[in-house]
Structure 1
Amino acid sequence: MRHFDYQSGDLHAEQVPLSRIAAEVGTPVYVYSSATLERHYRVFADSFEGLDTLVAYSVKANSNIAVLQTLAQLGAGADVVSGGELARALIAGIPGERIVFSGVGKTRAEMSAALDANIHVFNVESLPELHALNAVALSKGVQAPVAFRVNPDVSAGGHEKISTGKKENKFGIGWSRAEAAYAEAAALPGIEIVGVDVHIGSQIDALAPFEAAIRKVVGLIGRLRDQGHRIHLFDIGGGLGIPYGGNSRTPPLPADYGALVRRLTRDLDVQMVFEPGRMIAGNSGVLLSEVLYVKEGEDRHFLIIDAAMNDLLRPALYDAWHDVEPVHAPSPDAASQAYDIVGPICESGDTFAKARDLPPLSAGDLIVFHSAGAYGAAQSSQYNTRPLVPEVMVRGDAYRVIRERPTIADMLKTERLPDWPD
Structure 2
Amino acid sequence: MCRYESTEFGPTLLGRKANRGNDMSRYSRIWATEIDHLRATTPDHPVLYFSPETLAETARRFREGFPGLVTYAVKANDNPGVIDTLAQVGVTSFDVASPAEIALVREVVPFATLHYNNPVRSIPEIDAAVAAGVASYSIDGFGELEKLKGRVPQGVEVSVRLALPVKGAAYDFGAKFGEPPEGCVDLLRAVVAAGYVPAMTFHPGTQCEDPAAWARYIETCGEISRKAGVPLARLNVGGGFPSDRGTGARLEPIFAEIARAVAGAFGDTQPHLVCEPGRAMVAEAFSLAVRVKAIRGCGSLFLNDGIYGLLAEVPIMGPYGRMRVVAPDGTPRRGAPSPRVLYGPTCDSLDRLPGEVALPADLCEGDVLIFDGMGAYSTATNTRFNGYGAHEIVTVRRGGHRATQS
TM-score after normalising by structure 1: 0.79
2:368 corresponds, among 362, 366, 370, to 366
Secondary structure at the counterpart of residue 42 of structure 1: helix
Q: Within 2, Cα distance between the matches of 1:278 and 1:31?
A: 16
1:126/1:156 CA distance change after superposition, 3 Å: farther
Q: Within 2, Cα distance between the matches of 1:95 and 1:194?
A: 24
Q: Within 2, Cα distance between the matches of 1:377 and 1:259?
A: 32
Asked if the contact 2:136–2:157 (Cα under 8 Å) also holds between the matched residues in 1, the reply is yes
Asked if the contact 1:14–1:33 (Cα under 8 Å) also holds between the matched residues in 2, the reply is no
Secondary structure at the counterpart of residue 390 of structure 2: coil
Deviation at 1:174, TM superposition (A): 2.1
Q: Within 2, Cα distance between the matches of 1:36 and 1:14?
A: 14
**Per-residue CA distance 1:236-285 (angstroms, 9 max, x = gap):** 1011112312xxx555x222222112222233332101011111111221
1:128 corresponds, among 133, 143, 155, to 143
Asked if the contact 1:285–1:371 (Cα under 8 Å) also holds between the matched residues in 2, the reply is yes
Aligned to 2:13: none
Deviation at 1:154, TM superposition (A): 2.1
The yes-or-no answer on 1:258 pairing with 2:249 is no
Aligned to 2:215: 211
2:396 corresponds, among 394, 404, 420, to 394
Q: Within 2, Cα distance between the matches of 1:84 and 1:331?
A: 43
Letter paired with 2:395: M
Aligned to 1:378: 380
Letter paired with 1:289: V
Deviation at 1:103, TM superposition (A): 1.5
Aligned to 1:317: 316
Secondary structure at the counterpart of residue 215 of structure 2: helix
Asked if the contact 2:116–2:136 (Cα under 8 Å) also holds between the matched residues in 1, the reply is yes
Letter paired with 1:368: I
1:172 corresponds, among 170, 178, 199, to 178
Asked if the contact 2:46–2:390 (Cα under 8 Å) also holds between the matched residues in 1, the reply is no
Asked if the contact 2:286–2:374 (Cα under 8 Å) also holds between the matched residues in 1, the reply is yes
Deviation at 1:26, TM superposition (A): 4.8
Asked if the contact 1:72–1:92 (Cα under 8 Å) also holds between the matched residues in 2, the reply is no
State how 1:35-114 maps to structure 2 within 5 Å. 35-48=53-66, 51=67, 53-76=68-91, 77-93=93-109, 95-96=111-112, 98-114=113-129
Asked if the contact 1:283–1:371 (Cα under 8 Å) also holds between the matched residues in 2, the reply is yes
Secondary structure at the counterpart of residue 79 of structure 1: strand
Letter paired with 2:133: N
Aligned to 2:35: 18
Letter paired with 2:261: L
Deviation at 1:329, TM superposition (A): 4.1
Secondary structure at the counterpart of residue 237 of structure 1: coil
Secondary structure at the counterpart of residue 146 of structure 1: strand
Asked if the contact 2:201–2:237 (Cα under 8 Å) also holds between the matched residues in 1, the reply is yes
Whose RCO is larger (CA < 8 A, sep 6+)?
2
1:338/1:121 CA distance change after superposition, 3 Å: same
1:222 corresponds, among 223, 226, 249, to 226
Q: Within 1, Cα distance between the matches of 2:307 and 2:366?
A: 20
Q: Within 1, Cα distance between the matches of 2:122 and 2:111?
A: 21
Secondary structure at the counterpart of residue 71 of structure 2: strand
Asked if the contact 2:315–2:354 (Cα under 8 Å) also holds between the matched residues in 1, the reply is no
| Residue correspondences, number | 359
Deviation at 1:37, TM superposition (A): 0.6
1:388/1:174 CA distance change after superposition, 3 Å: farther
Secondary structure at the counterpart of residue 162 of structure 2: strand
Q: Which runs of 5+ in 2 are unaligned?
A: 1-29, 400-406
Q: Which has the higher strand share?
A: 1
Q: Which runs of 5+ in 1 are unaligned?
A: 1-12, 398-422
Secondary structure at the counterpart of residue 369 of structure 2: strand
Deviation at 1:15, TM superposition (A): 2.0
